Amino acid sequence: MSTNRIKHKVNHVSLVVDKSGSMRQHEAQLVRVVDEFVKGLHEESDRLGHETRISLYAFDHEVQNLVWDMDVKHLPSLRGLYQVDNGATALIEAAVKSVDDLKNIWEGYGEHSFLQVVVTDGEENASGWSEVGQMHIRMAGGEGNAVLGSWLGRIRGAMDELPDHWTSAILVPNSLAKRTAQGYGFPAGNIAIWDADSSKGVEEAIGTVKTAATSFLRGREQGVRGTRNLFAMGKELSTAEVNANLDALDTGKYILIPVDEQMPIRDFVTRAGHTYTTGRAFYELSKREKIQGNKQLAVAEKDPATGRMTGRVFSGPAARRLLGLPVSEVTVKPGENPAYTVFVQSTSVNRKLVSGTKLLVLL
C-alpha cells in the first residue's frame, strides 16, 4: 500500500536586533514595528500555506536569544522581551551566533529555507567581550586587533560557507557601515541603509525588512530558496502571477515615452504633446527611493531575449501585494527582472525624470 506525503515549505527567519545604548531613543518604536514585521510573516505564510518559524536575538556587548525557532503564529509581542542596555555593539558575534544556531536545525524532511536579518544603528566594537572583558577597540597594543581579527575571520567564513538556500542580510546606518558589512561577507544586494538617528528611520528600517521578508516568502513559490539581492523590488515577479492577478491595460489608453532628458515630469509630458494630469503618469523605478502607501504601481512586459519592452502594461490593486510592498511608506530599490519593468505613480509636478528610462502616461 502506497501513501502520499505532504510536501511543505518551511521558512526559518532569524531577526537579530541591536539593543546597545544608542538604541534607547528607539526602544518603544522598535517593539511595535517588530511586532508588525512578525504579523506580516504570519499573514503571508497563512496565505501561501508555508510553515514559518522565527528566532529573535538581541545584542549589545553580549548576545541573547529571546525566542528560538517558534511558529510565527504563536510568537508573543516583543514587549517585555526586548530592553535596551548601556552596552557596546557585538555585531559580528551576534550575526555568527544566529547562523551557528540555525545550522543545528534538522532539514531531513520538507523544503527548508533560512533568512537572517540583522538590524543595527552602530558599528562593531565588542565581539569577544566574554573573552577579554572589554571592548576591543579600546584595548591597548595588539590584543584588541587580534580579537577583532579572529571575529572577522569567523564572520567571513560563516558568510562564505552559507548554502544556496540561506539568505543573510543587514540594515546599517550609513555608506561607511555598508562597505564594512560587505567586508564581513554580506552580499551588496542584501545590505540596506536606514536613518538610525530618527524615530522615523527605525520604522522605515523594519518596514524595509517586512517588505523583504514578504518578497522572500513569495519568491519561495517560484522556487527561489535563497537570494543575494533581498532588498530589490520586482526581481521575482513571474508571468503567471501577473496574468492571474493584474489587469492588462487597453492598447490606446496609454503610451510609453523614452526619457531623453532629465527634467520635471509635467514639463516633459507637456513637451511630448500631452496634457499632464496628476496621478496619470508613472515613472520607471530606476534607483533606491521611498514609495508612499497610496501610490499605484504598474509593470511593463519585456522580451526576455532582448530586454526591450513589448508595449504590454499591467496594473491593478494587487500590484503592491505582488511586488511585496506594504500599504505604508517603504524604501525600495529596483531588482533585475528579465520579464518586467516596474513603474510608480507620480503625484508631483516637479519630479525629476531620469534620462534613459521610460515614462508611462495614461491617456
Per residue in 329-340, pLDDT (tens digit) is 777 778 778 889
Three-state DSSP class for residue 100: helix
Residue 37 lies in a domain: yes
pLDDT at 345: 95
Residue 117 lies in a domain: yes
Residue 1 lies in a domain: no
pTM of the model: 0.76
Listed residues 230, 250, 275: the one ending a domain: 230
Three-state DSSP class for residue 51: strand
pLDDT at 121: 85
Task: Tell me: do 193 and 331 sit in the same domain.
Answer: no
Residue 3 lies in a domain: no
Listed residues 230, 251, 270: the one ending a domain: 230
Task: Tell me: do 59 and 190 sit in the same domain.
Answer: yes
Cell 522580451 -> residue: 303
Please tell me the distance from the alpha carbon of residue 216 to that of residue 265, in angstroms, as a whole number: 33
pLDDT at 139: 47
| Cβ 289 vs Cβ 332: under 8 Å | yes
Provide the residue count of the chain: 363
Task: Tell me: do 214 and 322 sit in the same domain.
Answer: no
- Give the structural domain span for 350: 239-362
Mean pLDDT comparison of 21-30, 148-157, 252-261, 300-309, highest-scoring range? 252-261
Task: Tell me: do 99 and 171 sit in the same domain.
Answer: yes
> Which amino acid, 222?
Q
Task: Tell me: do 272 and 347 sit in the same domain.
Answer: yes
Listed residues 166, 200, 230: the one ending a domain: 230
- Smallest Cα–Cα separation from 86: which of 27, 31, 137? 27
Per-residue pLDDT reduced to its tens digit, 115-132: 999 988 888 888 887 665
What average pLDDT does this structure show over 243-270? Answer: 93
Proportion of the chain above pLDDT 90, given as a percent: 44
Task: Tell me: do 220 and 272 sit in the same domain.
Answer: no
**Cα–chain-centroid distance for residue 311?**
29
Structural domain total, the chain:
2
Task: Tell me: do 117 and 223 sit in the same domain.
Answer: yes
Task: Tell me: do 106 and 31 sit in the same domain.
Answer: yes
Task: Tell me: do 197 and 334 sit in the same domain.
Answer: no
Residue 312 lies in a domain: yes
CA 136 to each of CA 6, 141, 143, 153: distance values in angstroms, whole numbers, following the listed order: 50, 10, 8, 15
Residue 24 lies in a domain: yes
